[in-house]
């Protein structure tokens, strides 16, 4: 069975931090840990997460923008960081409920108990999907778990998708094109990206052209079809069938 890929959704503007826009993607070539809010930094301090670059396993969350980058996951097993079986921000801000998680100290203890080291996390996710979901593709498409966990987080009546989606955090910036399997974006973003590529030296431009020709998907988000996030998840799910 193929591993569920890592997904990074970009494009949301930040007050004092970078985000993945066309010129920056081709100029810097990095996904940056700086692309986050002060609220996220507060969560990192409260839960001792470190300075993180965030991914979801299989979920292209539209709250963070309309540019979806999908990565083969195995590289992350060899870097510093961690994972949880849920969104840590959702726990910290009280948007995810579970038994015994009724205070700040209890929330931290819950996160600490459920932290997963990155070496071997892909296999742990496979086991988790087998235990709680009908299929890996169903998990990617946002279907709820078929059974609950002992703390009633997975099927809590007020919990939503981030309560059961794996969050993967790495303690380094990541080269955009390294391990990239799919770049899903609006047609307007794709046009701007291709124009930015034209400013690169020939060797760099050729590498980006390969990405745009073979690993990218343009979506007309303003039309009647699916949004970028939905189309990205449908594509990922097709790999797992």
pLDDT digits (tens, 9 = 90+) for 82-132: 999 999 999 999 999 999 898 899 999 999 999 999 999 999 999 999 999
* Residue 35 pLDDT grade (very low, low, confident, very high; cuts 50, 70, 90): confident
Round to whole Å and give the CA distance between 66 and 203.
28
pLDDT value at residue 21: 79
How far from 152 is each of 25, 94, 96, 148, CA to CA, in Å?
Answer: 41, 15, 11, 6
pLDDT value at residue 224: 65
Which residue in this structure is represented by tokens 């946002």?
142
Whether the predicted pLDDT of 23 surpasses 90:
no
Whether the predicted pLDDT of 201 surpasses 70:
yes
Q: Enumerate the H helices of the chain as residue ranges.
A: 22-28, 38-46, 88-92, 104-114, 121-132, 136-140, 187-197, 202-214, 228-240
pLDDT value at residue 11: 82
Average pLDDT of the chain is 93
Choose between 15 and 101: higher pLDDT: 101
Whether the predicted pLDDT of 219 surpasses 80:
yes
Nearest to 174 by CA among 4, 2, 3, 7: 7
Percentage of the chain surpassing pLDDT 70?
A: 95
Looking at residues 180-195, what average pLDDT do you find?
93
pTM: 0.95
DSSP string, 45-96: HHTT--S-EEEEES---GGG-SEEEEE-SGGGGGSSEEEESS-HHHHHTT-S
Residue 156 backbone dihedrals phi, psi, to 5 degrees: -60, 140
The first and second tokens of residue 53, run together, are 């670059």
């Amino acid at each position: 069975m193929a591993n569920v890929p890592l997904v990074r959704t970009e494009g949301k503007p930040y007050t004092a931090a970078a985000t993945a826009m066309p010129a920056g993607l081709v100029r810097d070539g990095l996904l940056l840990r700086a692309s986050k809010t002060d609220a996220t930094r507060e969560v990192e301090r409260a839960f001792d997460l470190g300075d993180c670059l965030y991914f979801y396993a299989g979920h292209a969350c539209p709250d963070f923008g309309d540019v979806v980058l999908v990565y083969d996951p195995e590289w992350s097993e060899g870097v510093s960081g961690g994972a949880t079986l849920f969104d840590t921000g959702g726990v910290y801000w009280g948007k995810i409920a579970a038994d015994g998680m009724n205070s700040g100290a209890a929330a931290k203890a819950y996160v600490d108990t459920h932290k997963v080291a990155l070496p071997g996390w892909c296999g742990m996710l496979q086991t988790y999907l087998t235990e709680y979901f009908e299929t890996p593709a169903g998990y990617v498409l946002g279907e709820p778990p078929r059974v609950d966990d002992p703390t009633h987080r997975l099927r809590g009546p007020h919990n939503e998708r981030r309560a059961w989606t794996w969050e993967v955090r790495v303690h380094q910036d990541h080269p955009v094109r390294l391990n990239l399997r799919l770049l899903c974006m609006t047609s307007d973003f794709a046009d701007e990206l291709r124009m930015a590529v034209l400013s690169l030296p020939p060797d760099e431009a050729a590498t980006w052209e390969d990405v745009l020709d073979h690993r990218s998907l343009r979506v007309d988000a303003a039309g009647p079809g699916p949004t970028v996030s939905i189309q990205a998840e449908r594509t990922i799910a097709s790999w797992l069938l």
